[in-house]
Amino acid sequence: MHNKTIAELAKGLADGEFSSVELTQHFLGRIDALDSQYNSFITVTPEQALAQAEAADATRAAGNAKALTGVPVAHKDIFCTNGVLTTCASKMLSNFVAPYDATVVDKFNSAGMVSLGKTNMDEFAMGSSNENSFYGAVKNPWDTNAVPGGSSGGSAAAVAARLAPGATGTDTGGSIRQPAAFCGITGLKPTYGRVSRWGMIAYASSLDQGGPMARTAEDCALLLNEMAGFDPKDSTSLKKAVPDYTADLNQPLSGLRIGLPKEYFGKELSAEMSDAIMASVKEFEKLGATVQEVSLPNTMLAIPSYYIIAPAEASSNLSRFDGVRYGYRCENPENLEDLYKRSRGEGFGKEVQRRILVGTYALSEGYYDAYYRKAQRIRRLIQQDFLNAFNEVDLIMGPTTPTPAFDLGSNTDDPVQMYMEDIYTLAVNLAGLPGISVPAGLVNGRPVGLQILAGHFKESQLLNAAHQLQTATNWHQLAPSAGQ
Ligand SMILES: NC(=O)C[C@H](N)C(=O)O
C-alpha cells in the first residue's frame, strides 16, 4: 500500500479495496517500525489519526466522500494543529500545544483527510539541511549519512521513506524544493498569496508560502486543490479563483518555450549535475518543447539580498517569543530583563540567534539604508529579471540545488557555505513566483532535482510540465531501499 501514490490510494479507497483505517494503520505501523532510522517525525498522533480515519470511512459509507477523504498525510511542525504539540522544532515551543488549526490543516480536515503527525524541520524553518532542529537532525532515507535538505526535511524524508504518501511543507527560500530534490520526491512552492499563511508560524512573512510535497506532480496537484484559496484571516492571501489543478495535467507540450538561465549552469554546477538536468530538458524537447538560453543577471545577488530580508523579518516575527505569553520560560528569573534574556538565550538555537542578530542589525538606525533598503531594491531587480525572461519563454528550468545531498555535519561550521546551497531557490521567493522540484535521476547514488519555474499563478502550467515528464520517464519512481 505504501508504494501507491495519493491518486492510487484515493482510487483504492473509492473502489473499496481498503478502508482508511487499514491504510492509516499501515502507515502508522511503518512510522513505528522505521522512523527511528530517519527521525522524520517530531510527534506522531495515532489516536487522532485513527479517529479521523474512522470518521472518513463513515463519511464514505454515507456516500459523502470527497476526492481525498481518508487519505493520510503529515504536517510540517510549523503548522498549528489544535490540541497537538506544535514546536517549529524549537526548544522555545517545545511545550506549545496549539489552541487552533492553521487554515491549511483545517482545509485538509474538512476534506476528510487524516493527519499522521507532525514532521521534523530546521528550527523556525531556518536552515538547508535539517540539522538545526532541537529534536535532532533528520537523516536522508537514500543514505543515512546524508542530510535530507531543509527546512522541510522531515516531510521530504517521510514521503521518500514511504512513511506518508504526502506532506505539507513551507518554502521561504527553498524549504520545499530543496529537500524534495535531496530526497527524490516532488515539491511545489506556490505563488506567494496562493495558500493561506494563517496558523503557519511566521518566519519571513513576505516570503513564506506553504505547499505540497509528494512523490508525483499529480499528487501535488491533488494536494494543492485542497490547500489553495483566499482566506480572510490572512491579509496576504489573494482573492483569486482556485482552478482544478488536475485539469491541465495532460495538456500536450508542443510549442512550449523553455528558458535555461545561463547563470544556473555556471562553474558551481558539476558536469554530472548539469548532465542530469540536461537529460530532463531533452525529454521536454522530445515532447515538443523548444529550448533557448535566457539570462537572470542578478542571480548572485539573491543570496545577500535574501539573507538580509529574511533575518530582518524574522527578528521582528520572533520578538513575540519572550517567555511571557507562551513557550519556553527560563527558571527563576531575577527581573523582567533577565527573563527576556535568558528565555530567548536558552530557548532559541544558534542559527536562530544568528539570524535575529543579523536582522536586528540590518534594521537598526544608521544601517537600515545600507542593508535593508538596498536588499529590497535588489529584490525588485530580481523580480524584473524574471518578468523579462517570461516575456521570451513560458517556463524556466535548471537545477534545484548545486549539488546532491551533502553529508551530515559537512556544512555546519560554515553558515555562508550553507546559505550558498540556496543559490537557485531564493530568487523565486524574492519574486513571489511558483516553482516545483521534480526528481531528475541520481548523481553519486543520491537524488537530484530539476527545478521548473513559471509566471505568477501559473501552477497549472508547472504541474502540467512536471506530469508530462513523469509520464515519459521513471525518475520519480526510483525509491530508496527503505521505501521498497
Ligand atoms: N526556510 C527556507 O526556505 C530555507 C532557507 N534555507 C532558509 O534558511 O531561510
Which pLDDT band, with edges at 50, 70 and 90, does 253 fall under? very high
Other CB atoms within 10 Å distance of the CB of residue 39: 21
List beta partners, residue 187: 213, 437
CATH code for residues 6-255+395-483: 3.90.1300.10
Number of helices (H) and strands (E), helices first, in the chain?
Answer: 15, 11
For ligand 1, what atom is nearest to the CA of residue 128?
6
Q: Which of 77, 151, 355, 416 for mutating ligand 1's site (highest number of atoms within 8 Å of CB)?
A: 151
Whether residue 267 has pLDDT greater than 90: no
Ligand 1 centroid distance, CA of 221 (Å) = 23
Mean pLDDT of 171-196: 98
List beta partners, residue 166: 214
Mean pLDDT of 384-400: 98
Mean pLDDT of 28-53: 98
Domain boundaries, the chain: 6-255+395-483
Mean pLDDT of 202-222: 98
Strand 41-44 and strand 114-119: the pairing is antiparallel
Ligand 1 centroid distance, CA of 66 (Å) = 34
> What lines the ligand 1 site, CB under 6 Å?
125-128, 151, 171-175, 310, 422
The answer to whether the CB of 459 falls within 8 A of the CB of 191 is: yes
Ligand 1 centroid distance, CA of 258 (Å) = 27
Whether residue 264 has pLDDT greater than 90: yes
Mean pLDDT of 169-188: 98
Residues acting as catalytic residues: 76, 151, 175
pLDDT at res. 160 = 98
Which pLDDT band, with edges at 50, 70 and 90, does 254 fall under? very high
Task: State pLDDT tens for residues 425-438.
Answer: 999 999 999 999 99
Question: C-alpha angle 308/300/455, rounded to 5°?
Answer: 90
Mean pLDDT of 294-321: 97
pLDDT at res. 482 = 56
The rounded Cα 443 to chain-centroid distance in angstroms is: 22
pLDDT at res. 481 = 85
The answer to whether the CB of 436 falls within 8 A of the CB of 177 is: yes
Q: What gap in Å lies between CA 215 and CA 184, rounded to an integer? A: 8
Task: State pLDDT tens for residues 126-155.
Answer: 999 999 999 999 999 999 999 999 999 999
The three three-digit cell numbers of residue 398, written as one number: 535548471
Whether residue 484 has pLDDT greater than 70: no
Task: Give the rounded percent of residues in the chain with a pLDDT score beyond 90.
Answer: 95
For ligand 1, what atom is nearest to the CA of residue 429?
3
Got the DSSP string for 441-480? Answer: EEETTEEEEEEEE-STT-HHHHHHHHHHHHHH--GGG---
pLDDT at res. 306 = 97
Task: Give the rounded percent of residues in the chain with a pLDDT score beyond 70.
Answer: 99
Residue closest by Cα to atom 5 of ligand 1: 173
Whether residue 483 has pLDDT greater than 60: no
* ipTM of the modeled complex: 0.97
In this structure, of 4-8, 272-276, 395-399, 411-415, the range with the lowest mean pLDDT score is: 411-415
Ligand 1 centroid distance, CA of 175 (Å) = 5
pLDDT at res. 326 = 85
Ligand 1 centroid distance, CA of 199 (Å) = 19
Mean pLDDT of 307-316: 97
Whether residue 93 has pLDDT greater than 90: yes
For ligand 1, what atom is nearest to the CA of residue 351?
8
Question: C-alpha angle 249/442/220, rounded to 5°?
Answer: 25
Whether residue 365 has pLDDT greater than 90: no
Q: Which of 124, 128, 177, 418 for mutating ligand 1's site (highest number of atoms within 8 Å of CB)?
A: 128
